[in-house]
Amino acid sequence: MSIRYSQDFKDSLVKLHQEGRSLKSLAEESGPSQDSIAIWVKQATPVMIRGQSKTLKDVKQLEKCLTILEEENEILSRIA
């Protein structure tokens, strides 16, 4: 069974890791696996894209919006 953790919980573990706590200690104290916490840290780590700082989560959300807009554009171009 997969356990769902709230975004606030994930964010708090990411912050603790960024402040120097090890993945191992966070996993032992809080429950999620080291791998899960490492994924959350990676998703929250900003990258520079065209001079703007974006997280992996931001990029995935933008890609989803782009896909929807491309589909809508395709539908509209068929109508015109």
Average pLDDT per consecutive 10 residues, the chain (80 residues; last block may be shorter): 85 94 94 94 87 86 95 92
How far is residue 31 from each of residues 12, 18, 22, measured CA to CA in Å?
13, 18, 14
Tokens describing residue 16: 């603790």
Q: Report the run of H or E that residue 54 belongs to, with start and end.
A: strand 52-54
Query: Residue 45 carries which DSSP code?
Result: S
Question: What's the whole-model pTM score?
Answer: 0.65
**CB-based contacts of 45: which residues, under 8 Å, 6+ apart?**
55, 56
